[in-house]
């Protein structure tokens, strides 16, 4: 009986999977020659056609306009006020990683209108340090065992030992503390603090909630004397990589942003029809973006923005984005182009990115430019290779 049930279940799963694949194949274009012509909004022209030529006007006019465009059309609003943030150190071990690091498990609690959200932070700080230490903060969208504080379970997704050996601190929180990654359960978290978001057309959803959580962790890190809070890099993979970009765009306290394989509605261009589409992402993950974003399903050309503008809004802070060679779903070429088009905003600060015209070869990282990039050989994932390049990028840019 059990065997029959298992068989029926696997059959159902297979059928659903192949249905999904068929739908993807129908929707997703993987043929470069079939990418239709498209026009991107100009980063340096306001919606009222005003040219932006100076850093001052970028900061005063265009950058806020871009953030508002993303709030209203894509990620939703980012509530900035709350009643109270408190934290407590649940566990501290000055002898973690055989004495190489201090472990802190911190519970951060944010209260607003008598509702609260609890964020569990895992933080390792190198024992040998000259003063407050720069840190990498990962938005963890995969299993919690990836950031195991006991280090019994080790994972390339969050290679804490490698980061500690490089002299940096490493931290992580899990997305489920802010908004469970589920079409129904996502409301159980940050959105309980801001219920008005649920009815607004431009209301925050899960990705906004994760980015909001990253800022609350930064609020804590600013109070931790072992951390150099002016050098906190926000890191995310895939859906977490979309959130890391949004966090860095909204919160200029993040010194650096590392966005791994973030793809559609992350670093990749949306007007360019290659790989995942807005219709697909909104259909399969209706809880990620503002309700208004669905208006652009099968209607990319109507978007008053594109993702190069999101990357530009991070200027002049160092930004590193990646792809994996087999992850065409996330459109490596469209990701590189998006980064390239963001250059104009960096130039306003006198920072020349000098990216090549076409994407670099596989496994050829660009790390000296403030707009860093690599296309790692292999599958959609966050690996030790990616992290070693993040560390290299941080070394180059924190030195400047
Ligand atoms: C799906 C989704 C992507 C997302 C990815 C992930 O593939 O379509 O947009 O980036 O999941 O988060 O791993």
Per DSSP, the three-state class of 17 is helix
Burial of 44 from C-beta contacts in 10 A (0-12 / 13-18 / 19+): middle
Whole-structure pTM value:
0.94
Specify the ligand 1 atom closest to the Cα of 242.
10
- Is 362 a domain residue? yes
pLDDT given for residue 6 in this prediction: 57
Residue 171's H or E segment, with its range, is strand 169-174
- Is 10 a domain residue? no
Catalytic residue among 238, 244, 270, 313: 238
Per-residue pLDDT of the chain (400 residues), as tens digits, is 455 555 555 555 555 555 555 555 567 999 999 999 999 999 999 999 999 999 999 999 999 999 999 999 999 999 999 999 999 999 999 999 999 999 999 999 999 999 999 999 999 999 999 999 999 999 999 999 999 999 999 999 999 999 999 999 999 999 999 999 999 999 999 999 999 999 999 999 999 999 999 999 999 999 999 999 999 999 999 999 999 999 999 999 999 999 999 999 999 999 999 999 999 999 999 999 999 999 999 999 999 999 999 999 999 999 999 999 999 999 999 999 999 999 999 999 999 999 999 999 999 999 999 999 999 999 999 999 999 999 999 999 999 8
Label residues 284-304 b or e (16+ Cβ within 10 Å = b). ebebbbbbbbeebeeebeebe
Burial of 130 from C-beta contacts in 10 A (0-12 / 13-18 / 19+): exposed
Task: Establish whether residue 238 lines the binding site of ligand 1, counting it when its CB lies within 6 angstroms of any ligand atom.
Answer: yes
Catalytic residue among 112, 155, 215, 380: 380
The total number of structural domains in the chain stands at 1
- Is 280 a domain residue? yes
Task: Establish whether residue 287 lines the binding site of ligand 1, counting it when its CB lies within 6 angstroms of any ligand atom.
Answer: no
Q: Which residues contact 30 (CB under 8 A, 6 or more apart)?
A: 274, 275, 328
- Is 363 a domain residue? yes
- Is 346 a domain residue? yes
Is residue 238 part of the annotated active site? The answer reads: yes
Name the closest-CA residue to atom 8, ligand 1. 281
* C-alpha of residue 242 to centroid of ligand 1, in Å: 10
- Is 189 a domain residue? yes
* C-alpha of residue 240 to centroid of ligand 1, in Å: 9
- Is 255 a domain residue? yes
Task: Establish whether residue 264 lines the binding site of ligand 1, counting it when its CB lies within 6 angstroms of any ligand atom.
Answer: yes
Range of the domain at 192: 53-81+132-399
Name the closest-CA residue to atom 9, ligand 1. 264
* C-alpha of residue 266 to centroid of ligand 1, in Å: 10
Is residue 112 part of the annotated active site? The answer reads: no
* C-alpha of residue 150 to centroid of ligand 1, in Å: 29
Mutate to test the pocket of ligand 1, among 74, 183, 239, 278 (most ligand atoms within 8 A of CB): 239
- Is 106 a domain residue? no
- CATH code of residue 224: 3.40.50.1820
Task: Establish whether residue 102 lines the binding site of ligand 1, counting it when its CB lies within 6 angstroms of any ligand atom.
Answer: no
pLDDT given for residue 27 in this prediction: 75
Task: Establish whether residue 263 lines the binding site of ligand 1, counting it when its CB lies within 6 angstroms of any ligand atom.
Answer: yes
Phi and psi dihedrals of 95, rounded to 5? -120, 35
């Amino acid at each position: 009986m059990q065997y029959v049930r298992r068989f029926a279940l696997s059959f159902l799963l297979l059928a659903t999977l192949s249905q999904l694949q068929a739908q993807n194949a129908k929707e997703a274009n993987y043929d470069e020659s079939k990418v239709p012509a498209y026009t991107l909004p100009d980063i340096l022209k306001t919606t009222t056609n005003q040219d932006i030529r100076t850093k001052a006007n970028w900061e005063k006019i265009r950058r806020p306009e871009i953030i508002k465009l993303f709030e209203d059309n894509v990620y939703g609003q980012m509530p900035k006020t709350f009643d109270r943030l408190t934290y407590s150190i649940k566990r501290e071990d000055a002898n973690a990683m055989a004495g190489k690091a201090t472990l802190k498990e911190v519970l951060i609690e944010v209260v607003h209108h008598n509702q609260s959200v609890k964020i569990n932070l895992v933080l390792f700080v190198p024992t040998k340090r000259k003063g407050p230490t720069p840190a990498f903060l990962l938005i963890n969208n995969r299993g919690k065992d990836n950031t195991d504080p006991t280090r019994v379970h080790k994972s390339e997704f969050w290679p804490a030992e490698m980061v500690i050996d490089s002299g940096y601190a490493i931290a992580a929180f899990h997305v489920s503390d802010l908004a469970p990654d589920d079409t129904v359960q996502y409301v159980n978290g940050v959105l309980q603090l801001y219920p008005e978001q649920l009815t607004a057309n431009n209301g925050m959803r899960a990705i906004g909630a994760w980015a909001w959580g990253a800022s609350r962790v930064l609020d804590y890190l600013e109070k931790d004397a072992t951390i150099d809070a002016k050098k906190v890099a926000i890191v995310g993979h895939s859906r977490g990589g979309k959130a890391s970009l949004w966090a860095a765009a909204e919160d200029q306290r993040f010194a650096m942003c590392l966005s791994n394989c973030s793809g559609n509605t992350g670093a990749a261009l949306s007007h360019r029809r290659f790989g995942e589409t807005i219709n697909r992402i909104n259909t399969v993950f209706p809880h990620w973006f503002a309700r208004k974003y669905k208006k652009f399903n099968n209607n990319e050309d109507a978007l008053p923005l594109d993702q190069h503008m999101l990357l530009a809004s991070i200027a002049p802070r160092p930004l590193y984005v990646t792809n994996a060679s087999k992850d065409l779903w996330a459109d490596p070429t469209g990701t590189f182009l998006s980064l390239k088009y963001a250059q104009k905003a960096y130039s306003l600060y006198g920072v020349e990115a000098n990216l090549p015209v076409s994407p670099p070869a596989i496994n050829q990282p660009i790390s000296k430019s403030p707009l860093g990039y690599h296309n790692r050989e292999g599958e959609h994932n966050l690996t030790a290779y990616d992290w070693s390049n993040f560390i290299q990028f941080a070394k180059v840019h924190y030195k400047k």
